[in-house]
Amino acid sequence: MQTPTRPPARMSVVGQEYWLMASSLLFLGATAGKVAAQPLPADAPVPAEAERVPTDEAEAPPVPVSPPPPTAPPAPTPPPAAPPPTAPPPTTPPTTVPPPPPAAHEVPLPEGTAPDSPAGAEAVSADLPAPELGDAGSFQIKGRVFVLAELDHRREEVVGDSGNIESREITSLDLSLASARAGLEYQSPLPWLSAELELEVAGDPEVKDAYLQAGKRLFARAGQFKMPSARLELESSWKLPLVRRGFVHDLLVDWLDVAGRHPGLMLGYRGKGGVKPRFTLGAFQGTVLQEVAPGDRDVALIEKTSLEAQSIAARAELEIFDVEVAGWYEHRVGSPDLGETQHYESFGLDAKYDQTFESGGLRIWLDGTAGESFYVHEDKPGQDEEAVFVATRALVGYRFGGTALGTPYLEPFGYFAALDPDTEVVSDFALEAALGLNVGFWDRARLTLQGELNAAQRNFPSGYLDQQEPDRRGLLLQAGARF
């Protein structure tokens, strides 16, 4: 079949339209036959069957289409011109959708239990966390226990069978609960406010420390606590290697009214870096003598009797080459007789060295104290004048081990102290010495064996200890633990 040629010019307009339609049909039929005759590639995807939409009407049968008659291949046509380059569409950064927040508290329900059923609601409410009550601060409980076995040999003045005063030697063995302390430290939500409470519950319960403190570097403390004084007095009994503070300590605190715990108000400063300066200054309620007996002196707080019922105390510290050195002063209230009070001066210097090495540690305390005393020897001329006392103490301990908390250690130690009750009287010294050994777990538990000796020279004033003989020897075994 020949392809129609261009119509002659004399053909009418209608004829020309029919001629164009016939030419187009012939061209399309030839092209479709040629494409259908070509085989598909092996890897070409097989087109999926189009989804059929169900209808209520019956589908008409397909109409067969006759293949077009073969035609001659059309003349080649030039390729279409490439479209002008266009700018790529603007890209939008992907939007990240955050995952939904997790449930505050998901509670697994028993199998087969609906969440909205009574059993499900009960299971959910039983496992929900307790409501927060707000930040009330932090509490820390602390304490320590000392138990003591004491073998003691001393000389005492007793009334004999004849009714006369006789000197008799006594040897005794006693088992006791030497100390049982319980304490509570409180840190307020306000970082500058804290409080502390410490009770002695061995025997009659007694408040040892109870105070509020405001501030850190610059601070104010109000309540009952230790006055600024010598380091050996300020140190906790647990920190000292000794079983007890000793004879000279009793003479200073219990008989001369130096240092000790009193209600008061104190201001202080703690420096950082360099020599780490520290300074404290406070006013503390004084005490008055209530009763005295051999070896015992009872005092009570002064109440509503004077505008001068307070002691003034101050202490300054520096740290030089790992040694803490300090000086202190006390304008103290003393009670020379029942119901009487007067102010006396006392002061002192002290040093402390406490270092831990690779295999152990060394601890040293040294101090010297001087001041006015109301105890004068009965044979001294001019008894109306106040005496001046001087005391010195030294405590040294070296431990093997104990380089970390709770590690085993062994620590031998030695202690010596002397008190001159009156610098103008000779042969009146009170002397004290102790040797001992600590074995245990550092700063957690320990067993202490200590031998001690107390003695006084012939001119030692009898007002101390109320005529009790100061000479004694003792062997002590103490077990202690802290938490």
- 3-class secondary structure per residue, the chain: CCCCCCCCCCCCHHHHHHHHHHHHHHHHHHHHHHHHHCCCCCCCCCCCCCCCCCCCCCCCCCCCCCCCCCCCCCCCCCCCCCCCCCCCCCCCCCCCCCCCCCCCCCCCCCCCCCCCCHHHHHHHHHHCCCCCCCCCCEEEEEEEEEEEEEEEEEEEEEECCCCCEEEEEEEEEEEEEEEEEEEEEEECCCCCEEEEEEEECCCCCEEEEEEEEECCCEEEEEEEEECCCCHHHHCCCCCCCCCCCCHHHHHHHHHCCCCCEEEEEEEEEECCCCCCCEEEEEEEECEEEEEEECCEEEEEECCCCCCCCEEEEEEEEEEECCEEEEEEEEEEEECCCCCCCEEEEEEEEEEEEEEECCCEEEEEEEEEEEEEECCCCCCCCCCCCCEEEEEEEEEEEEEEECCCCCCEEEEEEEEEEEEECCCCCCCCCEEEEEEEEEEEECCCEEEEEEEEEEEECCCCCCCHHHHCCCCEEEEEEEEEEEC
User: Is the dihedral angle over the CA atoms 222, 226, 228, 234 positive or is it negative?
Assistant: negative
Token pair recorded at residue 78: 């030039």
Apex 167 CA angle, 162 and 169, nearest 5? 120
Say what the pLDDT of residue 100 is: 52
Kindly write down the DSSP assignment for every residue of 33-89, as one continuous string.
HHHHHSPPPTTPPPPPPPPPPP-SSPPPPPPP-PPPPP-PPPPP-PPPPPPPP-PPP
The length of the chain, given as a count of residues: 483
**DSSP 3-state assignment of 250?**
helix
Per residue in 47-88, pLDDT (tens digit) is 444 344 444 444 444 444 445 555 555 555 555 555 555 545
Which residues lie below 8 Å from residue 455, measured CB to CB, with a gap of 6+? 430, 431, 432, 470, 471
Say what the pLDDT of residue 98 is: 53
Flag whether pLDDT at 392 surpasses 50: yes
In this structure, are strands 472-482 and 296-301 parallel, antiparallel, or unpaired? unpaired
Flag whether pLDDT at 17 surpasses 80: no
Instruction: Please give the C-alpha separations between residue 454 and each of 28, 55, 243, in angstroms, as whole numbers.
Output: 133, 120, 15
Say what the pLDDT of residue 272 is: 87
pTM greater than 0.85? no
Q: What is the largest CA-CA distance in the chain?
A: 179
Percent pLDDT > 70 in the chain is 72
Flag whether pLDDT at 324 surpasses 90: yes
Contact 126, 119 (CB under 8 A): no
Q: What is the mean pLDDT of residues 446-453?
A: 98
Q: What is the mean pLDDT of residues 303-310?
A: 92
d(CA 369, CA 348): 4
Flag whether pLDDT at 16 surpasses 70: no
Between the CA atoms of 336, 339, 345 and 349, what dihedral angle is there, to the nearest 10 degrees?
80
Amino acid in the structure at residue 167: S
Say what the pLDDT of residue 431 is: 97
**In DSSP terms, which residues pair with 478 in a beta bridge?**
148, 448
d(CA 338, CA 378): 19
d(CA 434, CA 455): 12
d(CA 2, CA 21): 16
Per residue in 236-287, pLDDT (tens digit) is 999 999 999 999 999 999 999 999 999 999 999 999 888 999 999 999 999 9
Contact 429, 417 (CB under 8 A): no
**What confidence tier does 384 reach under pLDDT thresholds 50, 70, 90?**
confident
In this structure, are strands 193-200 and 165-187 parallel, antiparallel, or unpaired? antiparallel
Percent pLDDT > 90 in the chain is 63
Flag whether pLDDT at 331 surpasses 90: yes
Say what the pLDDT of residue 33 is: 47
Flag whether pLDDT at 39 surpasses 70: no
> Which tops the pLDDT comparison, 288 or 37?
288
Token pair recorded at residue 153: 């040999």
Token pair recorded at residue 177: 């609960």
Q: Mean pLDDT in the chain?
A: 81
Q: What is the mean pLDDT of residues 309-322?
A: 96
